[in-house]
Structure 1
């Protein structure tokens, strides 16, 4: 099917994984164009990759809704980076992809690092988009405190109800990092995060999955170590601005420098924030160019 004027053909496919059926958006590619397996962030869904897929015409792009998010909200079982890595292999197998470039945004970068470290024979390269590099959080902070401090509205939405889709769009339009993010692709991405009926719509994200993944992503030494133990070519793209469009990004220059990464090349992306690096046209163009280079 087609997603609208000027948009690429796509398919929505269910992939069986442990605990249920994973919902996957696939944009078919041309013969020899290569395959990208794209992994979204902690409270997001696979349609966050739409702008990148549009910029990768001719490349097969496969973007699952991770368990506990989007149309995969009913997949049962504990969530973790290792569980996502298992699911990603199931997705590759379902589409007959022997090897793919693995791309991950935010938490998807951590899942990507774990997957690429564990199964390097299935991934040609790894493209990390403002994610994958761990940073310590206070051990005495409750994980909800950490999440509210780091992702703010993306956590607050879990306890909210919305009268209609327009109300949910307005909630995100008020977010400073979304000021430049408009258009049909963004609206469709937001709509995929809604379940229920008007006037009691709510986020499709399962709170337990968000908390389980946050504990694993932020406090598991093995997940922290994954980016330093990669055996596939990797690159880390880091946004100039932060999750609330702060002047300093998720990864300040001092953090990038102190990480002393030897397993990934580093690429600063100016003029974008944590969200617009993926959802905005300019950021998506940069991400797509790095994915093409990896292909």
Structure 2
């Protein structure tokens, strides 16, 4: 597999493969473009996957705010234009990136949209709970990681190896993904993810639930939702349980729901068997 690094208006894109058929891909709220490497390696020769470091993450960490999913959707649409991704292209996103994909697909036609463990509105917040509290509850471990510094790349890798989602599931691609996320001087390394961006985007997912729902209903492109049965911390309930998804499948004839067995919110991208399924759904 060939991997090419480039920039569009100062925003980093990573292209896996050289084929003329294009997939535009977005990562999660505190992730980076290299989360798509395992899937990129499994694409047929006539495909290429263009993964974006979203504003405030990865090599796009110096791009200024404001953040929010509307801003990311603007960036994605601009990049799609610049790389020649027309209506025959595929759009995909993982976790928060799936919600960005919904906003993008509500504005432009694609051949298909593949939502990977995201894109379905969360349940309404309980009375009295504000979006900031919900964001802290959902992203607590990720936010803790952003507040820390690390003496060496090995210490950062060790932090991820201890994460429940990766216990016993470590691969070379996970390690490359983790190392790509590092910046700063030796002895005080940190994640490239900008804390303000992660908080603003996480809050957006709760505060703009109705907007996500409205845009989901506006998407006319066929959509496939690929769900992980286990959660962010490998807990036995996934991020999108049946009770959230089934009403949307019943409401939208364009939405196909599929649970990818034996994976969690992260390994749906990194486990070889799961990545095979995702790659096949993207290109079939």
User: Is TM more than 0.5 here?
Assistant: yes
Q: Which runs of 5+ in 1 are unaligned?
A: 1-7
Corresponding residue for 2:147? 159
Corresponding residue for 2:271? 280
2:281 to 286, 290, 293: 290
Give the Cα separation in 1 of the matches to 2:167 and 2:136.
20
Q: Deviations over 1:116-155 (max 9, x none)?
A: 00122xx211000000001123464455532332233212
Q: Deviations over 1:263-294 (max 9, x none)?
A: 3111111100000001221221111111012x
1:70 to 42, 58, 61: 58
Is residue 145–residue 191 contact of structure 2 (8 Å, CA) maintained in 1?
yes
Distance change (3 Å), C-alpha of 1:143 and 1:204: farther
Is residue 134–residue 206 contact of structure 2 (8 Å, CA) maintained in 1?
no
Q: Which runs of 5+ in 2 are unaligned?
A: none
TM-score (norm 2): 0.93
Q: Structure 1 stretch 191-200 or stretch 110-119: which is displaced more?
A: 191-200
2:236 to 247, 252, 258: 247
Matches within 5 A, 1:56-205: 56-58=43-45, 59-99=47-87, 100-120=89-109, 123-135=110-122, 136-138=124-126, 140-141=128-129, 143-205=131-193
Corresponding residue for 1:49? 36
Corresponding residue for 1:9? 2
Is residue 143–residue 211 contact of structure 1 (8 Å, CA) maintained in 2?
no
Give the Cα separation in 1 of the matches to 2:201 and 2:146.
15
Q: Count the aligned residue pairs.
A: 278
